[in-house]
Amino acid sequence: MTAPTTRGALAGEWVKLRSVRATYLSALVALAAALFIGLIDYGSAADNWDAWTAEQRARFDPVRYGFSGGFYVAVLAIGTLGTLAASSEYTTGQIRTTLAAVPRRGQVLAAKALVVGGASTLLGQVLAFLTFLLGQRAIDGKHLAVSLSAPGVLRAVVGCGVFLSAFALIGLALGFVIRHTAGAVAALFGLFFLSPMLLAPFGDGVSRFGLQSAFEGLGTTVASAGGDTRLGAAGCFAALAAYLAAALTAAALTLSRRDA
């Protein structure tokens, strides 16, 4: 019986991930966009709160608000980071060296998934919590801030971070399937933005299973802010897991069956 992966394969993937500029660049872009744009958004909400209509106020979700603007850039940046971990191997030809060093291909996929998953989980949770905590400070003056202990808040913050990890892994899987950076990144972004639209013809109930809808559902804490049209947290996590499982299965099949 073959080990799912080896310590050596993990170490190799970790060296590769930390030794390219693109990794740091994606992380920096994600951090800067989520925090900078997030703070501006919260600031303008605090400034304009007094002028908002009752309806606007009812629709204000103090948690989801931080995950709706600059955080999208973070989603795409972390997704790109994951995609590149696989696609750049094919674009450069490095994959042959990688597979010659670790001929059991499943071990390469598992090692990459664990390393990318670990890095994006750390990054994702830091981003999600910083976005939330800094945002709440900005609206505290208007007494709009909620605490992590309020119902559903911790789950929403952690969930948005988890989405980042899962999205990076879906990107990684697409990189293995498509074997080309531009194509894989385009497919990943397309899947995120277009999946709700592509599912829309099957009805609102189905379009809630789109990837972007699942992300929005995960960050939602106020029902009147659109929560009633989205899947609940459990549904969102399940949808996300389904996307992830499908993508990783496709990657495993492609990697094991096609010539390198």
The residues binding other proteins (CB under 8 A) are 6, 8-9, 11-13, 15-16, 19-22, 88, 92-94, 96-104, 259-260
Q: Write down the least CB distance from residue 31 to other proteins, Å.
A: 20
Which C-beta is closer to other proteins: that of 27 or that of 191?
A: 27
Q: How far is the CB of 96 from other proteins (least distance, A)?
A: 5
Q: How far is the C-alpha of 163 from the C-alpha of 193, rounded, in Å?
A: 14
Closest contact distance (angstroms) between CB of 28 and other proteins is 15
Q: For residue 176, give the H/E element and its range.
A: helix 153-178
Output 115 or 157, the one with its CB closest to other proteins: 115
Nearest Cα to Cα of residue 91 among 184, 13, 27, 188 = 184
Q: Cα-Cα-Cα-Cα dihedral of 87, 188, 62, 121, to 10°?
A: -30
10, amino acid identity: L
Using alpha carbons only, what angle is made at residue 52 by residues 48 and 54, rounded to the nearest 5 degrees?
150
Cβ proximity to other proteins: between 90 and 132 the closer is: 90
**Most distant pair of Cα atoms in the chain: their distance:** 66
The smaller minimum CB distance to other proteins, of residues 28 and 197, is found at 28
Q: How far is the CB of 208 from other proteins (least distance, A)?
A: 40
Distance between CA atoms of 248 and 253, rounded to whole angstroms?
9
